[in-house]
Structure 1
Amino acid sequence: MDLIDALRSTGSVREFTDEPVDDAVLARILDTARFAPSGANAQAWRLVVVKDPQIRARLRDLYRQPWVEYLALTAAGLRPWSPVNDPAAETSALAARTGQAEQAAASGLAAHLDEVPVLLALFADLSQLAAVDRDLDRYSLAGGASVYPFAWSILLAARAEGIGGVLTTMLIREEDEVKQLLGAEGPLVLAAVIALGHPVRQVTRLTRQPVASFATIDRVDGAPFRTVKSD
């Protein structure tokens, strides 16, 4: 697949057919993804390919409550767990919307996480991350730059194989139990769970905001950087 086509058509896929993904295909995907960039080339990731049905079922069960909370917060007009949210507003939203959200969570990926053809747990090794914003008086982001490109490379490499997938961070809300379940110790922290499989529907066209909506010249409040019109 052409690189530009892959970049413009790799969307999140949450519904998969029953067709399995051969280990040889997964091995090719990971063999390509390992070339993702990381700070100092530390490759500060560990990946668990989860196959055991009991472990998968437990991960599904752990996924449910964070997803219910996500839906409840969204329904209340909040961006779930935004670092700038008012905690009292979140508490109120959860109290008012949880029942409705529980019904919505009874279907989709949350209800069938254990059935996806490939389930990957991605861990980051904190001892290998140069979190240059660690000491700032705000939410830390920089360390993820050495891990999440690897996750994205998995999804791009999967797309080239005709495989779809989605990166989800819901299970980070249950990190302690996930770590215990998967034998992750010490400085390893859960960065994401990635589900892969043959898509029920293959995404071919994505919708995104135009460049001028997010790129400006010289300053954040500068003139929009305008480009030639594109789809």
Structure 2
Amino acid sequence: MDLIDTLRTTGAVRDFTDEPVEDAVLARILDTARFAPSGANAQAWRLVVVKDPNLRARLRDLYLGPWVDYLTLTAAGLRPWSPVNDRDAESAALATDTGSAREAAASQGFTAHLDEVPVLLALFADLSQLAAVDRDLDHYTLAGGASVYPFAWNILLAARAEGLGGVLTTMLIREEDEVKKLLGADDPLVLAGVIALGHPVRQPRRLTRQPVESFTTIDRIDGAQFSPDTR
């Protein structure tokens, strides 16, 4: 597949057929993905291919709680767990009865069938290898992830080139302690996300994104919009 086409059609895929993904295919995907950039070429990632049905079922169960919270916060008009959220507003939203939401989440879609996806990968980051240059700033840190998430994106791109689809979800980070115990991950490893891969029920074709000029300006955040016609 042409690189530009791959970049423009690699969407989040959560619905998979029952067709298995051979280990040889996954090995090719990971063999390509490992060339992702990372700070000092530290390659500070560890990956667990979760095959055991019991482990998969436990991850599915752990996923449910955070997903219900996500739905509850969204229904309250909040961006779930935004670093700038009013924590009292979050607490008030989460205090509402989520019984029906939990029942719905447990019986529908990706959450209900997480244990059945053809490939389930747990991605960990080694904190001892991350140059988190914003570590001591007084706001939410982002920089460390720059050495890990390109690898996750490479997995999705390489999977797309193999005719597969997938999604990176960070929901299980809300249950990190349990996931680490379940998969034998000790400090300084932290959970960076879980990646699901498989043969899509529908191949993504046209993705919808904001135009370049909506997020790109010249010289300052409040500067003129950048566009091909800018002089």
- Give the TM-score normalised by the residue count of structure 2: 0.97
**CA-to-aligned-CA distance 1:46-84 (integer Å, 9 cap, x gap):** 000000000000000000000000011011110100000
Corresponding residue of 1:145: 146
Aligned partner letter, 2:70: Y
5+ unaligned residues in a row in structure 2: which ranges?
Answer: none
User: 1:102 Cα shift?
Assistant: 1.7
Matched, 1:66 2:66: yes
User: 1:100 Cα shift?
Assistant: 4.1
Corresponding residue of 2:176: 175
Matched, 1:156 2:157: yes
Corresponding residue of 2:110: 109
Aligned length: 228
Distance 1:109 1:16, change over 3 A: same
**CA-to-aligned-CA distance 1:193-216 (integer Å, 9 cap, x gap):** 000000001101000000000000
Residues 42-53 of structure 1: matches in 2 within 5 Å?
42-53=42-53
Corresponding residue of 1:10: 10
Aligned partner letter, 2:116: E
- Give the TM-score normalised by the residue count of structure 1: 0.97
Corresponding residue of 2:185: 184
Matched, 1:207 2:208: yes
Match of 2:195, SS? Answer: strand
Match of 2:190, SS? Answer: strand
Matched, 1:84 2:84: yes
Moved over 3 A (4+): none
Aligned partner letter, 2:169: T
User: 1:97 Cα shift?
Assistant: 5.7
Aligned partner letter, 1:102: R
| RMSD between superposed Cα atoms in Å | 1.0
